[in-house]
Amino acid sequence: MCVRGVYCLLIYLSEDRCIGVGALGHKQFERGCYVYVGSAMSGIEQRVRRHKSSSKTLKWHIDYLLTRSDLLASIAIQSASRKTECETVESLSKCEDAAFPVPRFGSSGCRCKSHLLYFGDVDPAQVMEMLMMRLSMLESAYPRVFE
């Protein structure tokens, strides 16, 4: 079964790093937990599998960050609407300590500030719990964790 919709990636960066992010240039990333929100209307499992792969062409902003960080979890939100991606970012941005560390990261096709959020150098389990709670409150979201 092909699940279409939006996905969130929980990412941990073990140390401060300056990372080249394609056309955005080199950006400074602080150690800690990040959440990236993306869409995959052709299949979330396939997209997440690509993100987990170490042998891929660097195409999207997130590809560059993932080469230097750890992908801890992925969460799928089934949706036929591309609006769900931006609604998810908006909802997560209202969480305590949420920040947009790199303007326009992953959001070149919309008006969002960024599709990458930073939650500080905290326990990833805390971020995962907050993420699941926040996503469960979205009107059309039924989040599922993919291992």
96-143 residue pLDDT tens: 899 999 999 999 889 999 999 999 999 999 999 999 888 887 765 555
pLDDT of residue 142: 54
| Both structure tokens of 101 | 């560390």
DSSP letter string over 12-55?
EESS-EEEE-GGG-EEEE-SEEEEEEEEETT-HHHHHHHHH-SS
Say what the pTM is. Answer: 0.92
| Both structure tokens of 114 | 């960024």
Reported as a pLDDT band with limits 50, 70 and 90, residue 67 is very high
Q: Would the pLDDT of 63 be above 80?
A: yes
- What is the span of the domain harbouring residue 50? 5-146
Q: How many domains does the chain have?
A: 1
What is the C-alpha separation between 11 and 22, in angstroms, rounded?
A: 19
pLDDT of residue 60: 93
